[in-house]
Chains A and B, each alone.
Chain A
Amino acid sequence: MQTDTAVPIPFLAALRPARWRHAGSNIWRNRIFYILIAPFAALTLVMGVWPIVLGIIVSFTDSYTALTPEPTYVWFQNYIDIFSDDLFLSSLWRTLLFTVLSVVLNVTTALALALILSSRSLKLAAPICGLALFLPVVTPEAATFIVWKWMFSIDFGAVNAFLEDMGLPDFAGTTKPLQAFFTLVFVEWWHHVGFYTIIFLTNLKLLDPTLDEAARMDGARTMQRVWNVWIPQLRPAIAINSIYAVIQFLKTFAVVVIMTNGGPNYATNFLSFYAYSKFNLADYGQALAMATVLFAIVIGLAVVVYRYNEKADYR
């Protein structure tokens, strides 16, 4: 398996306009490819493009009529409503803050963990530790988040029992606004950091050993080598992980549903959770207006990153 990381997201090249160089008879000559792609195209259209377009359309309609054959269009009313809703605005800022915090936390700790895991001193323990880190990535979050919910329970959770044994004060867990926010930062970190760690770990194995040797010869200390030799080479991996993390944490949802339900006092009412609770009360228009806003944020970020990558030269 080769791992060329020169261009982190070549897939974004699809944003470029199509080049219609070949046309007409070309289609018949390549009919086999049209047959091969047909199911994929159908699935993408029906379960991807159509819902997205419909979502945007419904965000312009009156929720009450959204599911009827002839919906009433209220145009930007749903957007006006959500932007004059304090809860939405606070949830937007909260989501962005959570994302920034989580991306920084996950990428830095994943890098640190990967560096430790790749050090020779750990020997056989490293693969076991790597497996443990990765386990939450593949196990059902419905189960693990429920477990964490109980572990943080102030009434009989393991976390506080542990703190008490150590003679430390209780942690409020999900009962106080600020602590609840950071509890979710932690649980989401637990759930995802293994993924980013493994990516760094793979990239660390691909580092150019001659550069490191040269630095060693020059008498560089470990920290200097990490800082001056390894991290610059890891920049593409840092970029990829950051992009994945941004997309991941912007849509933070399940942990809220399972652990806090947006509380206490709306302290963890993130955007996708708020949209979903609107959807649950059949407020389709506002729910999809919120979804569209979040979608626009993701696209905006992706375009910025893509532009930046096109210009930047990592080598």
Chain B
Amino acid sequence: MKTRSVKDRSVALLAWVFMAGVTFLFLYPFWWMIVSSFRSQEAMLLEPTRLLPESFNTRAYGDIQTLGGVKLWLYTFNSVFITVAATLIAVGVTALGAYALYRKPDLPGFRFIQFGFLMTMMYPAMLLVIPVYLVVFQLGLLGTYAGIILFLSLMPILFLMLVQFFRSIPKELIESAKMDGASEMQIFRKIVLPISKPILATVFLIGFLLNWKQWLPILVIATSPDQYTLPVALLSMNTELGIDFQATMALAAITTVPIIVLFLFTQRRVIGGFVAGAVKG
């Protein structure tokens, strides 16, 4: 018994050390990004792995107030506006669609919609942007917020999460309401909607995180940096006349830190939502 506990303890220690190393590997790049945004390029070149900045050099944050002829606040506004609008539409549209498909998968036409949706999910997401560009062009929406938002509001993963949730609603709940003579509209508004509030919040959160990351569709559909979001601006910081390393890290930090904070505050919901969508998908 005694040898066993010694062995257990050494195994535990090993697990601790190993997982501490793994945690470091996953957190260090974020830390490095933030620290680098406060260090001059020369200092970075001299001592790339320093854990704390020599001094808080905030030059870069001042320098990126205008990028490529566009103000930083406009990129930030675009990020927030496009992300919120696309996610709101995505949650609303997808929730209604998922509910209808869950309740009546066999109605004429519904199979086709589900099939089309499935195809969209399987088309390599990055490459879908190419034909979407042609469609947005044909719709006359190139270079508009509408074109960008419409495309970003098609979010398959939200559909999977929502369908999963609707499947978990006890059938009896709906059946008994039907017995009581409730119309479908009433069932939807009085029964389904109220119990869906938490899941709607969760999918909104996840949709927000995922849309905030988007860059390729925005880069392709936008016709001017005026419509760029923070991640797109970040990728556009290289110009022919060189790159400012410190400023790149500063913009990367501005793009990333709010998301990290949001995620830390909502991690249970977010991870739970991802798992539910994926496991049942």
Asked if A and B touch directly (CB within 8 angstroms), the answer is: yes
CA distance A1 to B279 in the complex (A): 11
Residues of chain B within 8 A of A125, CB atoms compared:
16, 19-20
Residues of chain A within 8 A of B74, CB atoms compared:
none
Contact with A along B221-260 (1 / 0, CB 8 A): 0000000001110110000000001001100110110011
CA distance A121 to B11 in the complex (A): 8
B145 sits at the interface (CB 8 A): no
Contact of A33 with B118 in the complex, beta carbons under 8 Å: no
Q: Which of A78-86, A136-144, A176-184, A210-218 contacts B (4 or more CB under 8 A)?
A: A136-144
Contact of B45 with A26 in the complex, beta carbons under 8 Å: no
Residues of chain A within 8 A of B55, CB atoms compared:
none
Shortest Cβ distance from B98 into A: residue? A40
Nearest Cβ distance between residue B196 and chain A, in whole angstroms? 13
A-B contact count (CB 8 A): 319
B80 sits at the interface (CB 8 A): no
Residues of chain B within 8 A of A157, CB atoms compared:
48
Q: Which of A158-166, A167-175, A225-233, A307-315 contacts B (4 or more CB under 8 A)?
A: A158-166
Contact with B along A114-148 (1 / 0, CB 8 A): 00110101100110111111111111111110111
Contact of A48 with B117 in the complex, beta carbons under 8 Å: yes
Residues of chain B within 8 A of A12, CB atoms compared:
118
CA distance A267 to B255 in the complex (A): 30
CA distance A121 to B119 in the complex (A): 44
Partner pick for B245 among A32, A150, A279, CB 8 A cutoff: A150
Partner pick for A119 among B15, B110, B115, B256, CB 8 A cutoff: B15
Contact of B279 with A3 in the complex, beta carbons under 8 Å: yes
Nearest Cβ distance between residue B219 and chain A, in whole angstroms? 10
Contact of B48 with A158 in the complex, beta carbons under 8 Å: yes
Shortest Cβ distance from B155 into A: residue? A43
Chain B: how many interface residues by the 8 Å CB criterion?
A: 109
Given contacts A1-B168, A138-B270, contact A52 B22 (CB under 8 A): no
Nearest Cβ distance between residue B236 and chain A, in whole angstroms? 10
Nearest Cβ distance between residue A252 and chain B, in whole angstroms? 9
Given contacts A48-B154, A49-B116, A291-B127, contact A33 B103 (CB under 8 A): yes
Contact with A along B260-273 (1 / 0, CB 8 A): 10011001001110
CA distance A126 to B12 in the complex (A): 12
A103 sits at the interface (CB 8 A): no
CA distance A19 to B104 in the complex (A): 12
Given contacts A44-B117, A46-B150, A294-B127, contact A33 B184 (CB under 8 A): yes
CA distance A15 to B22 in the complex (A): 41
Nearest Cβ distance between residue B235 and chain A, in whole angstroms? 5
A195 sits at the interface (CB 8 A): yes
A70 sits at the interface (CB 8 A): no
Query: For A1, A10, A143, which residue has the most chain B Cβ atoms within 10 angstroms?
Result: A143
Nearest Cβ distance between residue A63 and chain B, in whole angstroms? 12
Partner pick for B19 among A39, A122, A190, A199, CB 8 A cutoff: A122
Residues of chain B within 8 A of A287, CB atoms compared:
130
Contact of A121 with B16 in the complex, beta carbons under 8 Å: yes
Contact of B124 with A294 in the complex, beta carbons under 8 Å: yes
Residues of chain B within 8 A of A291, CB atoms compared:
123-124, 127, 130-131
Given contacts A11-B118, A33-B103, A272-B124, contact A133 B168 (CB under 8 A): no
Give residues of chain B (92-135) contacting chain A, Cβ–Cβ below 8 Å. 92-94, 96-101, 103-104, 106-120, 122-128, 130-135
Residues of chain B within 8 A of A44, CB atoms compared:
97, 113, 116-117, 120, 154
Contact of B131 with A39 in the complex, beta carbons under 8 Å: no
Residues of chain A within 8 A of B125, CB atoms compared:
251
Contact of B23 with A140 in the complex, beta carbons under 8 Å: no
B64 sits at the interface (CB 8 A): no
Q: Which of B65-73, B171-179, B207-215 contacts A (4 or more CB under 8 A)?
A: B207-215
Shortest Cβ distance from B111 into A: residue? A18
A64 sits at the interface (CB 8 A): no
CA distance A58 to B213 in the complex (A): 29
CA distance A117 to B19 in the complex (A): 8
Given contacts A1-B272, A121-B11, A122-B15, contact A140 B279 (CB under 8 A): no
CA distance A146 to B237 in the complex (A): 11
Given contacts A49-B116, A161-B48, A291-B124, contact A40 B96 (CB under 8 A): yes
A47 sits at the interface (CB 8 A): yes
Contact of B29 with A148 in the complex, beta carbons under 8 Å: yes
B6 sits at the interface (CB 8 A): no
Contact with B along A146-158 (1 / 0, CB 8 A): 1110110001111
- Please give 14 more A-B residue pairs, beta carbons under 8 A apart, in addition to A121-B11, A129-B19: A3-B275, A15-B115, A15-B118, A37-B110, A116-B15, A121-B12, A122-B16, A125-B16, A132-B26, A138-B213, A140-B230, A143-B231, A198-B274, A199-B279
Query: What are 5 A-B pairs at a CB distance below 8 A?
Result: A27-B107, A67-B137, A137-B274, A147-B30, A295-B123
**Partner-B contacts on A (CB < 8 A):** 1-5, 8-12, 14-15, 17-23, 26-27, 30, 32-34, 36-37, 39-41, 43-52, 54-55, 58, 66-67, 113, 116-117, 119, 121-122, 125-126, 128-144, 146-148, 150-151, 155-158, 161-162, 165, 190, 194-195, 198-199, 202-203, 237, 240, 244, 247, 250-251, 253-254, 257-258, 272, 275-276, 279, 284, 287-288, 290-291, 294-295, 298-299, 302
5 nearest CB pairs, A to B: A40-B97, A48-B120, A121-B12, A18-B111, A55-B131
